[in-house]
Amino acid sequence: MCPLASWKTEMLKRNWPVVALIALLVAGLVAPLATGETPAGFYAEVLLGGLMTGVLYSLVALGFVLIFKASGVFNFAQGAMVLFAALSVARMAEVMPWWIAAALAVGIMVALAWLIERLVLRPLVNQEAIALLMATLGVTYFLDGFGQTVWGSDIYEINLGIAKEPVMVLENLFQGGILVNKEDFVAAVAAGVLVALLALFFQKTPTGRALRAVADDHQAAQSIGIPLNRIWVIVWSVAGVVALVAGVIWGSKLGVQFSISQVALKALPVVILGGFTSVPGAIIGGLIIGVGEKMAEVFLGPVLVKAFDLAGGGIENWFAYMLALLFLLVRPEGLFGEKHIDRV
Amino acid sequence: MQHARKIGAPILTVEGVSLAFGGVRALQNVSFDVREHEMRAIIGPNGAGKSSMLNVINGVYHPQEGTVTFDGKVRHEQDPHEAAARGIARTFQSLALFKGMSVLDNLMTGRNLKMRTNLVLQAVRLGPALREEIEHRAAVERIIDFLEIQAHRKTPVGRLPYGLQKRVDLGRALAMEPRVLLLDEPMAGMNVEEKQDMCRFILDVNDQFGTTIVLIEHDMGVVMDISDRVVVLDYGRKIADGTPDEVRSNQAVIDAYLGVAH
């Protein structure tokens, strides 16, 4: 066997779960079109809708990954941070332009990061991971409640001044065109820019380098003089800003309400799929799950109804978790996560 | 062995240090000093308390009794980050490099303490931030040349062979331009050739940069050749202190290493 071929089989042997997943996803993507019953325009709309939701999942998952990488803490409060940031912007925007409100909210999120470092992380340094997880659970409920105390518990809206009415595009390509929301488009671009900026920050600046060093090895980072406490404040601030962007996008789309906090739970399967320590993993995982669950809901649901006489529906709620469970079985480190080899 | 540099006054003094973990007494009333520009070794059999001693100096552990005086100042509750800021750098016995990062980035993290520009300037890579980055890059390049790892500049450290990783570990500590360099078993797990290379680098650091070096080793042979003075620990106590020749002929040291008939 030539070396290249043997290399290929070796790769295939090691990565077959990923190959299988990609095959499955592609099959799922193509199937609705292949039956010939689905109008192409409708199909494209579902796809775009899925991608849009996926972007939001990616942003929340990104917050998880950043904090997990840098401090080894699984931050359950990421969803609560999204809600709190969105609430802050929505309520402050009632009395000032939304962008000033957003700038102020950035300040709030940085202050929050500083408080969390001071009051939660620093006293609990070197404790078991479970203690830190419980602490972030506490932060979650505190933030949820505190947000209501300060800002109220109704549904608020964030108006970014972008037209919400969907527009018909690509009418030449698809029969009847497809409906696209201008706001969705702006949101996706904003999310993309944010991710690119973060990547540059991490790869190109000395502070980013220090952050990566801390993520890699706390003890070594400390003994070359990187101040852990300051790094934690920066990481939690960045996660706070990411939460803010996610919150504003979500809030302007669906209104700011308590349910935003639950989005975080959808980010869990995303990080399992993408890998807990991988920034690209969070982004790609979010998109896969966003598109996957939308497709499954719209196209797989009716098939199940026809075939088994079920009620259908609800697939959107469990799809992500089933996919994550499959991954935990065959590839626990996720698509892009670091594989841990422990010396026995 | 003769060195060109001149040994000065004590820069680091350890006085009556005792350290216990629950019932385990890792160090008991240990005192010694390290003079400026000196090559000082701490040796002893496994479990003698050598690494604990290093961890005390570098602020990872805080001793229950005794003091560590560095550069004329006693600090009781300093953490490793403060120790680093005061000019104490270290390497690790079990490698603690940033494995996912390139050799260059690993060394650049060693310059972190010397960086003065703020986050915003760094983010836009303008003016002072850019100048600073170039300055530090130049310093790191000198270390890369010194350690002869030019070819591996961009390689993720995790992919390098063990001996080279140890060299990067040394390089990262050197990038801090420390006054005192603590080396935790720099030759452990190396083959003869790698050991010789490492010895040469350590001697050169001491010679060319005048860095004070505190070196832990459990292999006696290597250390005796390169150090000025040697402290010997056994079961957490100091059993000998002096020049390599004095230590080599000390009965307590021979007993500790070879075992005594009871």
Task: Give the model confidence (pLDDT) of B168-177 as tens digits.
Answer: 999 999 999 9
Percent of chain B with pLDDT over 70: 93
Contacts of A341 in chain B (CB under 8 A): none
pLDDT of residue B252: 86
| β-strands B229-234, B88-90 pairing | unpaired
Region of poorest pLDDT, from A38-47, B31-40, B151-160: A38-47
- In this predicted structure, the answer to whether residue A95 has a pLDDT above a threshold of 70 is yes
Mark which of B131, B153, B177 sits at the end of a domain: B177
Q: Is the ipTM of this complex over 0.90?
A: no
CA-to-CA distance for B43 and B60, rounded, in angstroms? 20
pLDDT of residue B2: 47
Portion 120-179 of B in contact with A at CB < 8 A: 122-123, 125, 133, 136, 172-173, 176
B41: left (phi over 0), alpha (psi -120 to 50) or beta: beta
Per residue in A17-34, pLDDT tens?
778 877 887 888 888 877
Same domain, B12 and B120: no
Backbone angles phi, psi at B155, to 5 degrees: -80, 135
Mean per-residue pLDDT, B192-221 = 88
Same domain, B108 and B211: no
Mutate to test the interface with B, among A223, A238, A342 (most CBs of B within 10 A): A223
- In this predicted structure, the answer to whether residue A47 has a pLDDT above a threshold of 60 is yes
Per residue in A205-239, pLDDT tens?
888 888 888 888 877 888 888 888 888 899 999 99
Same domain, B137 and B122: yes
Mean per-residue pLDDT, A79-91 = 93
Q: For the domain that residue B37 is a member of, what is the CATH number? A: 3.40.50.300
Contact flag A205-B112 (C-beta cutoff 8 Å): no
Residue B260 binned pLDDT confidence (cut-offs 50, 70, 90): low
Residue A5 binned pLDDT confidence (cut-offs 50, 70, 90): low
Same domain, B64 and B182: yes
Same domain, B152 and B188: no
Same domain, B44 and B166: no
A171 touches chain B (CB under 8 A): no
Q: Tell whether B121 is covered by a domain.
A: yes
Q: Tell whether B25 is covered by a domain.
A: yes
| β-strands B39-43, B24-35 pairing | unpaired
Q: Domain of residue B62: give its range.
A: 1-87+178-262
pLDDT of residue A344: 44
Same domain, B82 and B209: yes
Same domain, B52 and B10: yes
Q: Tell whether B148 is covered by a domain.
A: yes
B103 touches chain A (CB under 8 A): no
- Which tokens hold the place of A57? 């999942």
pLDDT of residue B119: 65
Contact flag A212-B98 (C-beta cutoff 8 Å): yes
Percent of chain B with pLDDT over 90: 34
Mean per-residue pLDDT, A89-117 = 93
- Total domains, chain B: 2
The average confidence (pLDDT) of chain B is 86
pLDDT of residue A226: 86
pLDDT of residue B1: 45
B102: left (phi over 0), alpha (psi -120 to 50) or beta: beta
- In this predicted structure, the answer to whether residue A66 has a pLDDT above a threshold of 70 is yes
Mark which of B177, B205, B232 sits at the end of a domain: B177
Contact flag A224-B84 (C-beta cutoff 8 Å): yes
Same domain, B151 and B193: no
Mark which of B177, B195, B226 sits at the end of a domain: B177
pLDDT of residue A332: 79
Pick from A333, A321, A267, A271: which is nearest to A296 by CA? A321
Q: CB–CB of B75/B56 below 8 Å?
A: no
Q: Tell whether B165 is covered by a domain.
A: yes
DSSP string, A277-330: T-HHHHHHHHHHHHHHHHHIIIIIHHHHHHHH------HHHHHHHHHHHHHHHH
Mean per-residue pLDDT, B227-240 = 90
pLDDT of residue A330: 79
Closest CB from B100, B110, B125 relative to A216: B100
Same domain, B33 and B141: no
In sequence order, the 6+-apart residues with CB closer than 8 A to the CB of B133 are: A206, B125
- In this predicted structure, the answer to whether residue B180 has a pLDDT above a threshold of 80 is yes
Neighbours of A141 (CB within 10 A): 13
CA dihedral A58, A59, A62, A63 (to 10 degrees): -150
Contact flag B122-A205 (C-beta cutoff 8 Å): yes
In angstroms, the separation between the Cα of residue B206 and the nearest Cα of chain A is 19
B102 touches chain A (CB under 8 A): no
Mean per-residue pLDDT, A2-11 = 65
- In this predicted structure, the answer to whether residue B29 has a pLDDT above a threshold of 70 is yes
In angstroms, the separation between the Cα of residue B109 and the nearest Cα of chain A is 6
The SS3 assignment for B118 reads: coil
Q: Tell whether B221 is covered by a domain.
A: yes
B20 touches chain A (CB under 8 A): no
- In this predicted structure, the answer to whether residue B25 has a pLDDT above a threshold of 90 is no
Q: Tell whether B93 is covered by a domain.
A: no
Beta bridge partners of B182: B90, B214
Same domain, B83 and B187: yes
Same domain, B207 and B172: no
CA count, 13 A, side-chain hemisphere, A143: 30
Contact flag B115-A206 (C-beta cutoff 8 Å): yes
Distances (CA, A) of B4 to B7, B37, B208, B243: 10, 10, 9, 18
- In this predicted structure, the answer to whether residue A173 has a pLDDT above a threshold of 80 is no
Q: Compare B27 and B127 and report the one with higher pLDDT.
A: B27
